[in-house]
Structure formats: structure tokens, C-alpha cells
């Protein structure tokens, strides 16, 4: 068993000395920058991100090797009856840690995808299924909010438009932590739920859908938007059931006339803040459109399906009767739906990201 872990280090070229050398080279590169403008350059940002990434890999390799040593030492005690139970316990605990570290190191070896380092915008909308779809969209919004909070990610709600009969018509939030897009980029797509609605008297299972859009967040200062292309409306924010939640017209709706994109922001206390947020979201959407146009000419069909197919395809099913959540892209299921809906989705997010990145890198 321990040989597999040793082979992993060798086969993946996880040579500690080479990573230490890389760290030293990156440190020298960063220290050589003297002009204040250098610190705002793409090269500086890239170098500092790579340095942080390299330092983390070094620590994980060290921990991995220390755990291997622990297992080897424990295996030597298995023939001693006085220490056998303790040795087995040490082997079991250490191999669990090794498995976890191996997964994390595998992810570090993948080449970063474009915009992985950026903040992220998540948008939630009901699909097919009427009221049940609106309720499911709200459940997903709550699930991802709780998940992000559990990781200490900084969130800012952009807007929530509640449906009169329950659930939401639309909701979105910004994750203000760098790297959030890389972490959650594969969560976007059509999510399907199979459950008995509380209003269903006959006990019949309904199937409904909701969509999640995951977009990288771009600085609006870098995106040129013509004022003549915009229609800006102000209105009062609304809460559950449609009631007004303030007495001023602070909410902002911006329509980009050439594309028909409509952005609403109502969570900020001032009209200025809501307009600023809406413009940032619009800039991100326009940048994404441009990126898709450019990249569609560069990607082969297989990579395009893996990275962008989730925009229209059903990616995940939540079956409440079987307490099962299945991701259809990697054909894997989890059987703790109550915990998952409460935000405990870290294993799903990490497993999906690792498997899809692995397929893309091949």
C-alpha cells in the first residue's frame, strides 16, 4: 500500500528540491521589481500568485513525505502484539491524510485555466417546474451561500427577486475572494431536482430544474461601455412576497441595449452603490461574451464540451427519495442530500473540479 504513495511522488515528479529552487527564483524575480508601476503589472501579479502556489505545494509535499514515514514506522510495529493496535490506528489515520493530500497535490499539478484566479459571480434562476422550480432555485442559492460562508469566502449579495408564490425569480451574489472562479467554475449549468412538493397531496414525485451561471468577475475599469448603449432605471427594492424593503428608489436596473442584457442590483443602501455594482456585473458579462467568441475558435470540440457544455446541459440531479445527488459529467453520486442542501458540498465541488480538470489536461 505504501509503495503506491511513494510511486505517486516519483511518477508525478514531485521533487522537493526543484520546487524549492522554483520558489527561490520567483522570490528573486519579485524582489528585482523596483518601479512602482511594476507592482500593478500582469507579470508581478502572476509571479506572486505562482509563488504562493509553489509555497503551498512545498508544504504539502513535506507533509506527504512525513506521513509516508509515519506509516513505514507503524508497519514495523505490526508484529509486536503490545503495539499492534496502536500501529494499525496510526496507519489508518495516516493513510486517510495521505489520500486527501494526494488529491490536493494532483489538483496543484493541473495547469490553471483562464481566469481561475478571479473573483466570481453566481446567478440562480428557476427553470422548468413552476413554483417548485422557484423554490429549488432558492434552495440552491441558500446552499451555495452557506458553503461559501463555511469556507470564509467574502460574499456580497447583488440582488434577490422573490416570486409571489414562493421561491425566487432570480438571485445573484459576488464572491469577493480571489480564486473563487477557479474553485466554482464547474458548478454552472442545469441542476435538476426530483422530490414530492409540500403541496402535492397524492405523493407524486415532481421533476423541476434551476440554472446556475458562474462567471469570472472583471474590473469594469478595463471594459469600455458606451453610455449611449445603456438604459438605467431606478426602483424600490422588494422582499419576500413582493413587499417593499425601503422607502427610496435605491435599486438600479441597467439594460445594455445592443445585447439586451439586463442587470438589477438592489442590495446596496444607496443608488450609487447599486449602480456601481450593476455596471461591474455588466462589464463581467460583456467580457465573458468576448472571451467566448475568441476562445470558440481556439478550442477543440472535446475541451469545449468539458468546459462550456455545462451552460446548457443537465449537470446534476438531486433525488430526495433516494437521498442521492448525482453529477452526470463524472458519473458519481453522494448519498447525504440533507447535509448537501445545508451547504456541505465541499467534497462534490472538489471531486468534480479534479475529475474535469483531469479530463481537460489529457
Give one DSSP letter per residue of 243-270, joined into a string.
-BS-SS--EEEEEETTTTEEEEE--SSS
- Look up residue 244 and give its three cell numbers: 417593499
Rounded Cα gap, residues 174 and 35, in angstroms? 33
Q: How many angstroms separate the Cα of 303 from the Cα of each of 51, 181, 351, 361?
A: 28, 18, 18, 9
Quick one: pLDDT at residue 70? 95
DSSP-based three-state secondary structure for 111: coil
Please give the average pLDDT of every successive group of 10 residues along the chain, which has 362 residues. Answer: 88 89 90 63 74 91 95 93 93 94 87 88 95 96 98 93 94 93 95 88 88 87 82 78 58 92 85 89 87 61 38 83 96 97 96 91 72
Quick one: pLDDT at residue 126? 96
| φ, ψ of residue 197 in degrees (nearest 5) | -65, 155
Quick one: pLDDT at residue 307? 41
Is residue 85 within 8 A of residue 93, CB to CB? The reply is no
Select from 72, 57, 68 the least CA-distant residue to 13: 57
Quick one: pLDDT at residue 222? 63
What is the C-alpha end-to-end distance of the chain, expressed in Å? 26
pTM of the model as a whole: 0.74
Which residues partner with 234 through β-bridges? 252
**Cell numbers 445527488: residue:** 325
- Look up residue 318 and give its three cell numbers: 438531486
Quick one: pLDDT at residue 257? 93
Quick one: pLDDT at residue 155? 95
Residue 361 CA neighbour count, 13 Å, CB half: 14
Amino acid at each position: 500500500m505504501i509503495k503506491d504513495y511513494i510511486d505517486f511522488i516519483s511518477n508525478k515528479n514531485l521533487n522537493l528540491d526543484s520546487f524549492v529552487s522554483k520558489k527561490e527564483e520567483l522570490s528573486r524575480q519579485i524582489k528585482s521589481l523596483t518601479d512602482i508601476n511594476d507592482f500593478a503589472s500582469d507579470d508581478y501579479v502572476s509571479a506572486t500568485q505562482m509563488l504562493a502556489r509553489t509555497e503551498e505545494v512545498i508544504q504539502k509535499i513535506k507533509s506527504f513525505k512525513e506521513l509516508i514515514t509515519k506509516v513505514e514506522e507503524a508497519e514495523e510495529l505490526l508484529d509486536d502484539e503490545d503495539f499492534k493496535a496502536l500501529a494499525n490506528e496510526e496507519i489508518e489515520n495516516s493513510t486517510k491524510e495521505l489520500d486527501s493530500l494526494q488529491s490536493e497535490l494532483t489538483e496543484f499539478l493541473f495547469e490553471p485555466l483562464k481566469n481561475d484566479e478571479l473573483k466570481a459571480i453566481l446567478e440562480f434562476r428557476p427553470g422548468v417546474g413552476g413554483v417548485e422550480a422557484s423554490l429549488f432555485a432558492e434552495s440552491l442559492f441558500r446552499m451555495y451561500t452557506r458553503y461559501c460562508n463555511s469556507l470564509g469566502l467574502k460574499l456580497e449579495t447583488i440582488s434577490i427577486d422573490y416570486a409571489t408564490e414562493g421561491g425566487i425569480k432570480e438571485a445573484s451574489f459576488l464572491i469577493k475572494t480571489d480564486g473563487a472562479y477557479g474553485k466554482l467554475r464547474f458548478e454552472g449549468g442545469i441542476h435538476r431536482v426530483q422530490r414530492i412538493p409540500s403541496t402535492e397531496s397524492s405523493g407524486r414525485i415532481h421533476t423541476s430544474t434551476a440554472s446556475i451561471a458562474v462567471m469570472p468577475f472583471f474590473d469594469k475599469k478595463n471594459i469600455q461601455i458606451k453610455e449611449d448603449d445603456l438604459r438605467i432605471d431606478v426602483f424600490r427594492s422588494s422582499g419576500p412576497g413582493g413587499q417593499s424593503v425601503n422607502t427610496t428608489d435605491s435599486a438600479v436596473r441597467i439594460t445594455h441595449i445592443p445585447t439586451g442584457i439586463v442587470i438589477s442590483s438592489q442590495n446596496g443602501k444607496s443608488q450609487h452603490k447599486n449602480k456601481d455594482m450593476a455596471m461591474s456585473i455588466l462589464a463581467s458579462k460583456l467580457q465573458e461574451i468576448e472571451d467566448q467568441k475568441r476562445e470558440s475558435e481556439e478550442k477543440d470540440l472535446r475541451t469545449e464540451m468539458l468546459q462550456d457544455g455545462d451552460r446548457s446541459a443537465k449537470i446534476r440531479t438531486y433525488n430526495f427519495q433516494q437521498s442521492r445527488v448525482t453529477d452526470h459529467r463524472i458519473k458519481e453520486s453522494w448519498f447525504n442530500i440533507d447535509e448537501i442542501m445545508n451547504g456541505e458540498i465541499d467534497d462534490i465541488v472538489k471531486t468534480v473540479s479534479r475529475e474535469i480538470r483531469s479530463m481537460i489536461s489529457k
